[in-house]
Structure 1
């Protein structure tokens, strides 16, 4: 089923360096394209520790740098997600606060958001004053659903897992997906199982608008990473390898200038591919 859904799609493994550079330049140019409505790009993973929040922060930052309008990163992790940490923001208000307030204008809405030095808007799932607490699909829709009129793109960092009501709700409104998996054979196996779950649970159309980010967590992953990439790309989906990067591995706030060139190029490719796919079809 995955092969049928992915048939004809370009693979990210084995292309020439020159061809990759030309394709990246073409896709990057598309990041500034007009959008018919706010594009919702969800970043998901089966397990915690895969690098999901890091990828979400990188993707949101790339899109922001290539657009003149507003872009927002939304933390939809019901636990204590690390997206605000990675983006170096601290908010006194949260997604839950926004949902309860129901603001009616941009000025009222902006009071619930924070902004990075690079101009990326951020909506934390939890405020510094009140950590934790339930976050469900109803709260997410009441809060994030009001943002579409003000933003061209939202990058949504989901919690680990796929089957909760919140996760299903976020996926149902997604225009594109970045699925993050560790660059190991075990990570590839869990990712393939998850992709099968998408196909069998009403999210099959989203697979054609999915980019797989395969993250290396050690400096020398070796043959294990190659096997993982082969297993996932065999399904016909785009797989992009995020090489080990010392700055990203530190788990601190991301400074774009300190991210290595290889990791930066990979993040740009993921962002460009996900954004291009978000324009190719409606939400699932």
Structure 2
């Protein structure tokens, strides 16, 4: 705070004393009222800090002040900039606060709220005090107008300060509060009383015996074998997202059981899964895949190629394929070798495109000619490989050479995820050591499955899945579960 203005009048014009002579150019400030008076005005010096002390604004007698126009604005604005109670920076900050308050105040306010104990005259708007000398005969507001304006500003600030805080939250579609539950939480396990839930009849000799003796009151659950079987069913029936998956079964040597493995794999898949499974005989020579199922349609893959343009629904396709009791569909190859040689890679692509539209898993029984044109299209569409190896030195070596050929021809990744089936097509104990043979293939592929000898298969007649030996069915189901797990692990990119 600068010292107050001295009581004695300054002697020179440098301190802002105007002469009493009227020959100077003057500028009048007219307040409300008709009367004016000529008075001597002493402009505030640099040490002045209060407009009220200088009697520039008063509330007693209206008067007219004549001051030089060229010096009035500069001399009055300067002390205002140095005032402690109200500065230009403070005014700008206060106006910014009002703007941020969601524009509740209808009119822009340039005057801060009046502090407690402050005279009403000190709350005169700065804009009015500064702009008054700049205009000729400008009318200055009276003390009553200033007080009313300050009260309006104070009321506006109070409204802003008393406004309750509102927390804005956004909800997306499907979002609910943490303490509210959705309908999907009303599950049977949660709502039904466990004492009143009837468990299914247990499987297993002792479990079923206790269940029967106790009058169905004691249910020990399934036995170990039943639990293992249901778990294997769950693995085979695991869903496959995306489009159809192609699984070719191949070998470079005939007579090792390639068609048999294709049939057993297809039956195990179709028996446990809810979707459709088809096996296509793509052997360029006369294939025997259709002869391994009990039901035939009399149609071949050639008929499917001819009718591919006319198939508009699954019913049109069902007249061409043959369906086993396990719900495995089979497309037979041509019985005439001269016609089957005409089955090209383009024909296979047409069949594959049609099969992919109605089936989830497409098995392909390939021929022994690995360099045949159909084999190129088969490998291009393949998602999982199944290689069949026999139980002799030459058969095992040819199977390993098949893997080497695939690796050197751009299918190394597919070989690492392949499954090798060691098929025992002869009765009695094999001459080769199965453990050594399996250990060799495990170094090259993802999994190895042993298929035991089964007299029902060795007859060469149609295979009935339920009539197979338990070990054979178990091996076929293990192979199916392994293939499905591979298809789920190596899912194609979306």
1:34 maps to what in 2? 239
Alignment equivalent of 2:312, drawn from 102, 105, 110: 105
More strand by share: 1
User: Residue 243 in 1 paired to residue 452 in 2?
Assistant: yes
**Aligned 8 A contact 1:209 1:277 in 2:** yes
Question: Which has the higher mean CA deviation after the structures are superposed, 214-223 or 190-199?
Answer: 214-223
Deviation string 1:95-148 (CA, Å, 9 cap, x unpaired) is: 1221122234122222222212232211112269x9744211111111231121
Question: Which has the higher mean CA deviation after the structures are superposed, 145-154 or 118-127?
Answer: 118-127
Structure 1 outlier segments of 4+, above 3 Å: 21-28, 130-133, 222-227
Deviation string 1:228-282 (CA, Å, 9 cap, x unpaired) is: 2232223354111111111111111111122112222111111111122122225
**Aligned 8 A contact 2:290 2:332 in 1:** yes
| Secondary structure at the counterpart of residue 147 of structure 1 | helix
Aligned length: 264
Q: CA RMSD in A?
A: 2.5
| Secondary structure at the counterpart of residue 480 of structure 2 | helix
User: Residue 81 in 1 paired to residue 81 in 2?
Assistant: no
User: Residue 228 in 1 paired to residue 433 in 2?
Assistant: no
| Secondary structure at the counterpart of residue 148 of structure 1 | helix
Question: Which has the higher mean CA deviation after the structures are superposed, 219-228 or 236-245?
Answer: 219-228
State the shift of 1:70 in Å. 1.6
1:217 maps to what in 2? 425
Structure 1: state its 5+ residue gaps: 1-20
Deviation string 1:77-111 (CA, Å, 9 cap, x unpaired) is: 11111111111333332212211222341222222
Distance 2:311 2:470 in 1: 42
State which structure, 1 or 2, has the greater radius of gyration over its C-alpha atoms: 2
Structure 2: state its 5+ residue gaps: 1-225
User: Residue 50 in 1 paired to residue 259 in 2?
Assistant: no
**Aligned 8 A contact 1:103 1:109 in 2:** no
Distance 2:444 2:264 in 1: 25
1:134 maps to what in 2? 342
Alignment equivalent of 2:270, drawn from 64, 76, 91: 64
1:94 maps to what in 2? 300
**Aligned 8 A contact 1:76 1:156 in 2:** yes
TM-score by length of 1: 0.84
| Secondary structure at the counterpart of residue 146 of structure 1 | helix
Greater relative contact order (Cα 8 A, min sep 6): structure 1 or 2? Answer: 1
